[in-house]
Structure 1
């Protein structure tokens, strides 16, 4: 059963059936009921592609993220899906890992599906899609990067002020009387590098020497946090406060610091970043930076929605963070 069969059985035109399918008002009520009865009789479901050709929109958005299991990314995805579902859009979520090949694969798939827009979550995409091959594939599709930036007329950005976030965290600890701070970096993205620069800036403003030696490198996650704690303790360096670029790594470090006899915050103050749910269930509860992922996702959705409605959105928006003080400081 197709639109031609429906028109024939309803004894009307194809264009009239199309108007009924698209909920247009300029249809004779009697004919409309006749068409609707036939649609119900055959349980007819119109092709999304055919409907898209008529309405000039596929009502579909693609969201690419490195790993949707990461709670920070998941919260952004949820906010985007929630915003678009209110407007009847379908949201396709794609996990790319840190692989350029996977990124290219999903970009091509969604370009072929003629999605109405793409959201890229994370500064990792600054590098993953920054090639002529990828950019040319999506040059007719609006793209919003959550906390990233790529030059291009069809690219838009919603940025978190990561530099100011970490600088403020260090300033906060100094203002509370802590003097010997370290920073733990567990990623190699543009955002992670910006966070490191924020920490360095806070120290340099206080004329603290040897800033580079106060940066500890590890891997992301609980085990990376444990490893960082061991590195710090075994190095013999003087410290009374540690700022982390990610909550989950900070929680792993707290676990290891406590295992090795340190009290938090009596011996060490610890701050994480992302304000994930895990910060409330660890012991002590973790002071963290709220980088507002729900707001980030909502703003990304608003930019794309404005474009689909023919409006001209801002090319770049900045979000300011907030320190959430808990028991670890």
Structure 2
């Protein structure tokens, strides 16, 4: 197993950022802390990489892009938009697909340091983000994308997920639906939690609550299809299903049709993302469109500006959370509540 600074921090009983300060000889580290870290380094036979030792020469013109999974269509489109925008301005992109695995994130961080990247764009799959502190301590500009990274990245670019949740719920309520179920994944995702907040807040305005909320840990068609099948069998009063992503909504449509029901005749279904598949599935999916490419391009441009500020020593600009507006695209998968 490759030794990382996370292992050193655990053995030394301190934080990743504290280990970084000792390795980089940057910032204050007490003699007692330095001794503990150095002892852990000796025990684990750890050799700091050139990146971890901060041997940062001329700009590398390389950017790290860390995403939970490029198998997920949303992140594939996002990665392409970011890579193309950066390429036009002379940057190469190192794409890190972490498989929503904490150890993968930590190892990729070490790799990005060793490659002397000029900046990082990241959508972390986890609420615990201390391991990103080593990038911040190394002075590498960081942009959070699709979710916030409080305490690590002052800048973030994302769709207005909560407003999107409100739009989904309001559309179904206006069609007369009251027994509305939610199917989605991944349950731990910050954007998904924001969408759920928007959905429940909008439903509460009409004195109703979700009939059921079925969330999978893994964001896959198979898992959300299974949840939708179970929901249809156990909650006959439901007349509409909100998919927290287009993949979840399309899985729900397949589950409904496989049980011999129709969309939107028996059930209305709405999704979130407006992936290309949303316009091709039958019936065509009503969905909240988030401008994925625009989110990616804005994040890339913001990072380029941060890199320039970092290289010139300009620290006057305040961080910003950019929320990109979303819109409801009405297609064929939603209709009035059945009699």
Tell me, yes or no, whether TM beats 0.5: yes
Answering whether residue 203 of structure 2 is matched by residue 198 of structure 1, we say no
The secondary structure found in structure 2 opposite 1:58 is coil
Q: CA deviation at 1:212?
A: 5.8
Q: Distance in 2 between matches of 1:285 and 1:176?
A: 17
1:321 corresponds to: 326
Deviation of 1:280 (Å) = 2.0
Alignment of 1:214-253 (within 5 A): 214-218=212-216, 219-253=218-252
1:126–1:149 CA contact under 8 A, matched in 2: no
- Give yes or no for contact 1:192–1:245 (8 Å, CA) kept in 2: yes
Which residue of the partner structure matches residue 184 of structure 1?
183
Counterpart position of 2:100: 98
CA shift digits 1:173-227 (9 cap, x unpaired) = 111222321111321211122221111111211112xx36521233532222321
* SS across alignment from 1:182: strand
Deviates more, 1:79-88 or 1:186-195: 186-195
Q: Report what 1:288 is aligned to.
A: 287
Check whether the contact 2:160–2:324 (CA below 8 A) recurs between aligned residues: yes
1:152 deviation in Å?
A: 3.3
Q: Does 1:108 align with 2:110?
A: yes
- Higher mean alpha-carbon deviation, 185-194 vs 92-101, is at 185-194
- Say which is worse superposed, 189-198 or 95-104, in terms of deviation: 189-198
What is the count of residue pairs matched by the alignment?
Answer: 270
Instruction: Give the match's secondary structure for 1:309.
Output: helix
Q: 1:170 to 1:220 in 2, by over 3 A?
A: same
Q: Distance in 2 between matches of 1:256 and 1:325?
A: 21
Provide structure 2 residue ranges, at least 5 long, that are not aligned to the other structure.
1-55, 335-339
Gaps of 5+ in 1: 1-51
CA distance in 1, matches of 2:267, 2:127: 35
Tell me the equivalent position of 1:13.
none
Q: What's the CA shift for 1:273?
A: 1.1
Q: Secondary structure of the residue that 2:270 maps to in structure 1?
A: strand
**8 A contact 2:154–2:319 mirrored in 1:** no
1:272 aligns with 2:275: no
1:153 to 1:70, Cα distance in 2 relative to 1, 3 A: closer
Are 2:308 and 1:309 equivalent residues in the alignment?
A: yes
Instruction: Write the deviation string for residues 260-315 of structure 1: whole angstroms up to 9, x where unpaired.
Output: 12111111110111111221221111111111111110111011111122274742
Q: Partners of 2:206 and 2:158 in 1: how far apart? A: 27
Kept in 2, the 8 Å contact 1:222–1:252? The answer is yes
| Counterpart-to-counterpart distance in 2, 1:66 and 1:289 | 22
Whether contact under 8 Å (2:181, 2:210) holds in the other structure is no
C-alpha offsets along residues 224-278 of structure 1, whole Å, 9 cap, x if unaligned? Answer: 2321222222113411111111111211221121121211111111011111122
Quote the residue 2:125 is aligned against: 124
TM-score (norm 2): 0.75
